[in-house]
Structure 1
């Protein structure tokens, strides 16, 4: 069985512990005439031949068959390919197997460990946790097919852990004991089931109960507003939720919206989605609220904004990303007309209604001379 040469992100002990379990023994090693290459995926790494360069890493000492299997599972899920090479160790040169993306693009920058550690290490570890939870249950090819969604969910969990959790009225955080976790469905979205017990208000622990959640990702909504013309831009598109409910008209009026991709901030997402869905460049963003739209059943967390924008006549049109089958029509209406659509029920979309009601309260501040 070949030695395993770990390089790039796989040398990061917290990530490696998720993949293999803690306690793996590492022996420093170097692959000559190779260069590490930066890639977009946080847990991945590319290798290319480069005379005179060297990649520092480590050989996994005494790697068991289980360690080989777990590392191969993770590698296949991330699209990493095995590469055979020779590496130098304190004991001499040995043949080894490395996992990396191949071929490495010539136009990519060299991999910089410090930049990766600061910007991608936590996301890589959180992604690996979901991937390795399926070890022995799912084929790695299935995980690779939905790796983008896995990374976006991982980024959502990281934001949730680092966000403030004020509790001036509600109770402080308390114990939740998870007995079992299942994921009966996972694709673009996922469903998770938990057998758990939680701390009750009387101080006792509840009986073990089963609860399920529809796992979607953090997302952004942004309502463009032209304070000079007192207009807003609305988008209209077909939606699966109303259709599945049996709604007679599943075309919804909404604010511009989209999920926050891994590595993006909510503000960056708002500006990207405005370009994609309305061909619009936004001015300053103002925060409306950050919230769970349906916490009893969904993990989705929304960041809602109103953004200053120039909305002259003729701004509307049909937009959307073609390879995502988006078919989005925009409407430019007065703020008063939009509020009337909330009253009539034609606007039945909670983030849009919330943003419009907030804007009605803040309208004069937007319109006041700066």
Structure 2
């Protein structure tokens, strides 16, 4: 058995439960202080780091009786973040002290950047981090920590999308807790995307439970798709980039003309992501966003939900090439008069379905936007 002191995100009990894979009711949790240390924010990151500092103290959580299995799970979770354990004495809430293991970062791994607040972090990212940890920990023993670290941004994006999805109600009276029975749920693959398999039954329209079905899904986060439109000049902007899935299906033209698009990062609203992607992919600052609806892009195979917008802006001097080199993006843009754009839509010159959806929405609302 081992005793650990947590000073950072693992003080958030739902996250600790997700990492350990068991309820906090099975654990001994006590508030504690590590004297001579200071918890600071990390530059460019959402988690904190700990440093030695005279006359300072780090608030934390003292957890007793952790098993070897618990330590293995913690090592897997923290392994992707360059942390090691050190033995130190901590002061408990009754004034006594105890020996505890403490996670410390590698000396050159991070750069301190001011004070870190647990309450502020929980409000912004507590739920999504705990949900992401559930997916991450399901790969323990199958995916190396270093490989999992590369997948974490995508896992967090999927977790953020799940939180959005849980609020997506339209009035359907059916209850999945009663009308769906899951027999097996297997996370088969993880990388930028994930593939999950499930064996389930669902209630049929005659009231009975149907046969057990085996289904697979491509797990993705939510995305925003924005068609830039200049109502003064009556022009639209399209971007073109290479798309590997189009190449993989043997399409001889894998360079696709599309609207501006991108994934919604954890902590972002769809509108914030739309403005960010406008700058990253086309160098456009939108004056206004008009919602064109939203929906699942391919509900039979993918979890991706897309939020559709027409973004109004000045298209007199758009970026010719753009994109983030860190994401391997090589993007060029093109401005088209609206009449030419719609004629190309009607001739079937575009293969991107969201682009076609937004083209038809703009055709119906163009006069209002110009007015």
TM-score range relative to shorter protein: over 0.9
Change (3 A) 1:338 1:99: same
- Corresponding residue of 1:53: 56
Query: TM-score, normalized by length of structure 2?
Result: 0.92
- Corresponding residue of 2:336: 333
- Secondary structure of 2:199's partner? strand
The CA deviation at 1:172 is: 3.1
The CA deviation at 1:153 is: 0.9
The CA deviation at 1:100 is: 4.8
More displaced 10-residue stretch of structure 1: 234-243 or 68-77: 68-77
Cα offsets for 1:117-138 (capped at 9, x unmatched)? 2111101111111112122333
Structure 2 CA distance for aligned equivalents of residues 161 and 359 of structure 1: 30
Query: TM-score, normalized by length of structure 1?
Result: 0.92
The CA deviation at 1:307 is: 0.9
> Is the CA contact 2:138–2:187 (under 8 Å) kept in the aligned structure 1?
no
Structure 1 CA distance for aligned equivalents of residues 349 and 268 of structure 2: 32
Task: Name stretches of at least 5 consecutive residues in structure 1 with no aligned partner.
Answer: none
Match of residue 152, structure 2, among 129, 143, 147: 147
Cα offsets for 1:165-223 (capped at 9, x unmatched)? 113xx663432222112222210111111111111111111221110001121111111
- Secondary structure of 1:303's partner? strand
The CA deviation at 1:113 is: 2.1
Match of residue 320, structure 1, among 320, 323, 333: 323
The CA deviation at 1:107 is: 4.9
- Corresponding residue of 1:115: 120
> Is the CA contact 1:37–1:111 (under 8 Å) kept in the aligned structure 2?
yes
Task: Name stretches of at least 5 consecutive residues in structure 2 with no aligned partner.
Answer: none
- Corresponding residue of 1:3: 3
The CA deviation at 1:50 is: 2.2
- Secondary structure of 1:280's partner? coil
> Is the CA contact 1:2–1:95 (under 8 Å) kept in the aligned structure 2?
no
> Is the CA contact 1:282–1:308 (under 8 Å) kept in the aligned structure 2?
yes
Q: Are 1:244 and 2:248 an aligned pair? A: yes
Structure 2 CA distance for aligned equivalents of residues 84 and 344 of structure 1: 70
> Is the CA contact 1:225–1:232 (under 8 Å) kept in the aligned structure 2?
yes
Cα offsets for 1:147-179 (capped at 9, x unmatched)? 11111111111111123x113xx6634322221
Match of residue 27, structure 1, among 26, 30, 34: 30
1:100-249 equivalent positions in 2, closer than 5 A: 100-103=104-107, 107-163=112-168, 165-167=169-171, 172-174=174-176, 175-249=179-253
Cα offsets for 1:260-308 (capped at 9, x unmatched)? 1112211111111111111111111010011111100011110110011
Cα offsets for 1:315-355 (capped at 9, x unmatched)? 35111212222111101001111111111111111111111
Structure 2 CA distance for aligned equivalents of residues 227 and 32 of structure 1: 61
Cα offsets for 1:349-368 (capped at 9, x unmatched)? 11111111101100111111
Provide the aligned C-alpha RMSD in A. Answer: 1.9
Cα offsets for 1:229-272 (capped at 9, x unmatched)? 10000111111122111112111110001111112211111111
- Corresponding residue of 2:347: 344
> Is the CA contact 1:37–1:47 (under 8 Å) kept in the aligned structure 2?
yes
Match of residue 353, structure 1, among 352, 356, 371: 356
Aligned length: 363
Cα offsets for 1:97-130 (capped at 9, x unmatched)? 1225454856512111221221111011111111
Structure 2 CA distance for aligned equivalents of residues 181 and 216 of structure 1: 17
Q: Are 1:18 and 2:18 an aligned pair? A: yes
> Is the CA contact 2:73–2:140 (under 8 Å) kept in the aligned structure 1?
yes
